[in-house]
Amino acid sequence: MKAVILAAGEGTRMRPLTKDTPKPLIPVAGKPMIQHNIDKIEDKVEEIIIVAGYKIEQFEDKYCDNENIKIVEQSEALGTADAALQARDLIDEKALVLNGDDIYGNLEKLVEKDSAVLASKAEKPENYGVFKVEDGNVEGIVEKPDNPPSSLVNTGAYVVKEDFFDLLEKVEKSARGEYEITDALEDYLDSEEVELVKTDMWLPCSYPWQLIDANEELIEEEVGTGRINGKVSENAVIEKNVVVEKGAEIKQFTTVEGPAIIKSGAEVGSNGYIRPGTVLEENVKIGDSEIKNSVVRESSSIPHKSYIGDSYIGKKVNIGAGSQTANLRNDNSTVKMKVKGRLMDTGREKFGTVIGSEAKIGVNNSVKPGRKIGFGAVTDAGEKIAENLSNKAVMKDGEIIEDRN
């Protein structure tokens, strides 16, 4: 059996983080989200086929030395059914098909089946495709129904026989102008006996705050009992399970509370404070700042007396001295974030900011909860960031004085 991972989309709802990184390669808990699934299935399938499109070269670079992974291209973003079709000529038996931007549990049970879907129990199934189930088999699927036939929803992971790929060719464009894989799944459920496998974990990563959700869920397992291979000052404090990779350095009077991951080339302190849930990617520089439950990507710097909480920071970001990210509303309601012009409830009581790569934040800035700062944006000293900033925007004296998009 082979696996087909659908990873071709641009990930517009994840902007600005997808400006420089395709969504499935955005890291959570210390590795790209797609890698969490690859690690679970690589020894259970003969080959993994990644269908990529947007920034495909990054997939090619990452997996060029892995003989068990093949990258194929969806040259035009025509939907998930069309993406899966790109792997058709490589499939000659049953196949595992799954999304590249979701992280799954129980894949090992799914791959044992001849024909099956992976389902998760949802509190609000009406927001998803819902399975009709009878005696452990799936009788159908209903998209976002007013009266759901069950609480078991479609996660986008299936084991299908070869003829499923024939059904993909018959799919017609949906109202949003794409070929949807769920249309083929409906026909497949009518023609095959399909088992239902319940998953104990399903982490969709469609929106920025879901990266923090997934990081919280996965980091403890990734850290395990911890390991210290880097340099740790005798005056530093390591509490609970922490990974400090070779080439990383924890300087004097710094405290690191696990679970946390400090990657190679990262430096923390002196007097830094790294709190649980934090991942510092390669070559990150943290000074006497506090980082809590956040991901800071490669080569970013937070050098002096700043606070970053429940946030996601892109690559090569510089945050000026004394800048703070607020992560809690004064009225104690959940934080909202505007995505593609729509204000959405994150469902999180604590959620800070999302900063795109190469942004430069001036000294003594404050960022309100749930705001996004675009790729390459620049802010002056003392700014209060109360609205999203677009890519390459320049903010001075509370005004956007230049927008270099």
State the virtual CA torsion across 351, 357, 360, 366 in degrees, nearest 10: -10
Two tokens, residue 301: 């710097």
Two tokens, residue 214: 């997934």
36 is catalytic: no
- Residues near 366 by beta carbon (within 8 Å), at least 6 away in sequence: 323, 324, 325, 326, 383, 384, 385
Q: Which of 173, 304, 329, 396 is catalytic?
A: 304
Distance of CA 63 to the CA centre of its chain: 18
- Residues near 363 by beta carbon (within 8 Å), at least 6 away in sequence: 320, 321, 322, 323, 381, 382
> Which residue has tokens 């997808």?
18
CB 198 within 8 A of CB 150: no
User: How many helices (DSSP H) and strands (DSSP E) are in the chain?
Assistant: 7, 39
DSSP secondary structure, 282-303, as one string = TT-EEEEEEEES-EE-TT-EEE
State whether the Cα torsion 317-320-321-326 is positive or negative: negative
Two tokens, residue 242: 């922490």
What sections of 7-146 are H helices per DSSP?
A: 33-41, 56-63, 80-85, 107-110
Q: Which residues are catalytic?
A: 304
